[in-house]
Amino acid sequence: MLKLKLLLIQYRLICPLTIPISVGLWIIAGAPGYGTPDFTFFVVVFFWLRTLAQGIIWYLIRLLNGKSFYFYHLAGLTESALMIGCYVLEVSVFGLWLFVFYLIF
C-alpha cells in the first residue's frame, strides 16, 4: 500500500507533463475513436511516442533532480519500478479518459 501511495505521489508530480502529451498526441492523430479504422494504428503509434516521451521525461528528471529518487529507494521502490509504474498509470488513465469521453460524446 505504501508503494502505491509513493507511486501516486510521483505520478502527481509528472502528470502536468504527461497528460498534455497524451491528449496532444490524440488530437494530432485526429481524435480517433474505438470504432474507427484508424484506432489500431493510433494505438501503435501512441504507444511508441508515449514511450519515447516518457523516456525523455525520466532522463530530464534524473539529470536535473536525480537525488529525489533516494526517498523512493529508501521506501523500497527502485527507479525502474517507479518509472514503469508511472508509465502504466499514465496509459491507464488516458485509456479510461478516452473510454469515458466516447461514452459521453
pLDDT 10s digits, 75-91: 888 889 999 999 999 99
Average of per-residue pLDDT across 48-66: 91
Looking at residue 71, its pLDDT comes to: 79
Q: Are residues 87 and 21 in contact, defined by beta-carbon separation less than 8 angstroms? A: no
As for how many domains the chain has, the answer is 1
Average of per-residue pLDDT across 62-86: 86
Task: Please tell me the pTM assigned to this model.
Answer: 0.85
Q: Is the dihedral of CA 101, 53, 86, 45 positive or negative?
A: positive
Could you list the residue range(s) of the whole structural domain that residue 21 is in?
2-104
Looking at residue 105, its pLDDT comes to: 79
C-alpha cell at 9: 505521489
d(CA 80, CA 28): 30
